[in-house]
């Protein structure tokens, strides 16, 4: 009994192999699922053929052509790197794309054209019988192209859903090319005997590189204004004279230039004394620098902020409690270009000396 079963099995196997061989001999071209062992060829194109030898390949980039249509160019190369022997001159009979089996939806279809003419045989989405479970191909067959007519031929695919709107409409969905960017399609180009099947990829055109925007130059025109505000009852008026103004400007300029250096900011025009910016109750000191680096500008702002009370001291002739400035308010603030508030800071102080009644009456 057991040996009979074994003999029957061997016979059946021998028949199957014989059949498969004869099928191959007459070219297992359009798949006969019974002729191959499912899962026997793990890799696309799921056939025994030479994937590196052949004259036909996809141009590296496909182009979208409206309403779910995508076009590929065929390139013919017969150099030694592309092919050898018969594979170099064989005609292009068939193209197969490695596709996602999720696009195999009843009623969904693909229309293929070559140079605008529909292929004689309709494009077919199919399982790959010899491939692993879940492998699928899109087959364009009986193309009848040769090494002359295939050069730059344009193959367009229009992806159509079924009436229920199910099916794939983009190459991102259709094409399976692990390790490549989404939308990259892998195709094998077959000769009639399916011996040569050079595999190539075509991907989505990269988006144009973003225009190189030159860093916007943000020139900062900034002045430090020191202002003394006399009290309402200005019994002992104090006004800046030109020597005091020049000294205070020099002091503030030195400090500002050093803060700019500390913040690594490129100075276009250093802070400097300017006699025409001296007024009775206000002293202005200006400079111009590069405010393009917002980080550096933030650091400068922080550093200047920390210096404001020192500037108030400078503007007060050493100390806001300078008796000459009794009841005066001293303000140090920044003045910017109207358009650009590069440094927006302000601080005030006053000194009200403790009342010393009749100091001379002791």
Ligand X SMILES: *[C@@H]1O[C@H](CO)[C@@H](O)[C@H](O)[C@H]1NC(C)=O
**Separation between Cα atoms, residue 86 and residue 53, nearest integer Å:** 9
Which CB, 263 or 342, lies closer to ligand X? 263
Which CB, 228 or 297, lies closer to ligand X? 297
Question: Which residue stretch of 270-278, 312-320, 337-345, 354-362 sits at the interface with ligand X (rule: CB under 6 A)?
Answer: 270-278
Which CB, 49 or 320, lies closer to ligand X? 49
**Separation between Cα atoms, residue 223 and residue 225, nearest integer Å:** 6
Which CB, 177 or 204, lies closer to ligand X? 177
Least distance (Å) from ligand X to the CB of residue 280?
16
Q: What is the dihedral of CA 115, 118, 120, 122, to 10 degrees?
A: 130
Task: Spell out, one character per residue from 219 to 258, where the chain touches ligand X: x when CB under 6 A holds, - when not.
Answer: ----------------------------------------
Which CB, 183 or 313, lies closer to ligand X? 183
Cis preceding-peptide flag for 45 (omega within 30 of 0): yes
Q: Counting contacts by CB under 6 A, is residue 134 touching ligand X?
A: yes
Task: Spell out, one character per residue from 35 to 74, where the chain touches ligand X: x when CB under 6 A holds, - when not.
Answer: ---------x-----x-xx---------------------
H helix count then E strand count, the chain: 4, 16
In whole angstroms, what separates CA 237 from the centre of its chain? 65
Other beta carbons within 10 angstroms of residue 5's beta carbon come to 9
**Separation between Cα atoms, residue 44 and residue 38, nearest integer Å:** 13
Give the three-state DSSP class for 97: strand
Number of residues engaging ligand X in binding (CB under 6 A): 27
For β-strands 69-76 and 94-100, DSSP reports them as unpaired
Binding site for ligand X (CB under 6 A): 44, 50, 52-53, 83-84, 98, 134-135, 176-178, 186, 215, 217, 263-264, 266, 274, 276-277, 290, 292-293, 295-296, 299
């Amino acid at each position: 009994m057991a040996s009979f079963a074994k003999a029957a099995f061997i016979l059946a196997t021998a028949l199957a192999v014989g059949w498969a061989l004869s099928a191959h001999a007459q070219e297992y071209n359009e798949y006969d699922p019974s002729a191959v062992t499912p899962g026997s060829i793990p890799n696309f194109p799921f056939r025994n053929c030479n994937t590196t030898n052949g004259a036909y390949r996809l141009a590296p980039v496909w182009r979208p052509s409206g309403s779910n249509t995508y076009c590929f160019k065929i390139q013919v190369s017969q150099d030694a790197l592309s092919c050898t022997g018969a594979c170099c001159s064989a005609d292009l009979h068939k193209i197969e794309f490695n596709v996602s089996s999720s696009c195999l939806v009843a009623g969904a279809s693909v229309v293929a054209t070559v140079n605008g003419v529909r292929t004689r045989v309709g494009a077919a989405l199919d399982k790959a019988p010899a491939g692993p479970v879940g492998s699928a191909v899109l087959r364009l067959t009986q193309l009848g192209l040769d090494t002359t007519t295939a050069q730059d031929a344009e193959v367009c695919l229009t992806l159509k859903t079924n009436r229920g709107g199910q099916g794939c409409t983009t190459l991102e969905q259709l094409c399976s090319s692990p390790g490549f960017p989404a939308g990259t399609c892998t195709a094998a180009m077959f000769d009639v005997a399916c011996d040569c099947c050079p595999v190539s990829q075509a991907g989505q055109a990269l988006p144009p590189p973003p225009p190189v925007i030159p860093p916007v130059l943000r020139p900062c025109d900034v002045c430090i204004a020191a202002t003394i505000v006399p009290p309402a009852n200005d019994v002992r008026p104090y006004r800046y004279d030109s020597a005091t103004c020049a000294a205070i400007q020099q002091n503030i300029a030195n400090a500002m230039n050093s803060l700019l250096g500390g913040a690594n900011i490129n100075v276009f025009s250093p802070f400097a004394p300017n006699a025409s910016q001296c007024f009775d109750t206000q002293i202005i000191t200006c400079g111009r620098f590069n405010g393009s680096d917002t980080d550096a500008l933030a650091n400068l702002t922080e550093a200047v902020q920390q210096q404001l009370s020192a500037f108030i001291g400078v503007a007060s002739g050493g100390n806001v409690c300078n008796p000459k400035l009794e009841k005066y308010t001293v303000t140090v603030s920044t003045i910017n270009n109207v358009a650009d508030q590069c440094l927006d800071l302000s601080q005030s102080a006053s000194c009200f000396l403790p009342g010393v009644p009749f100091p001379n009456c002791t």
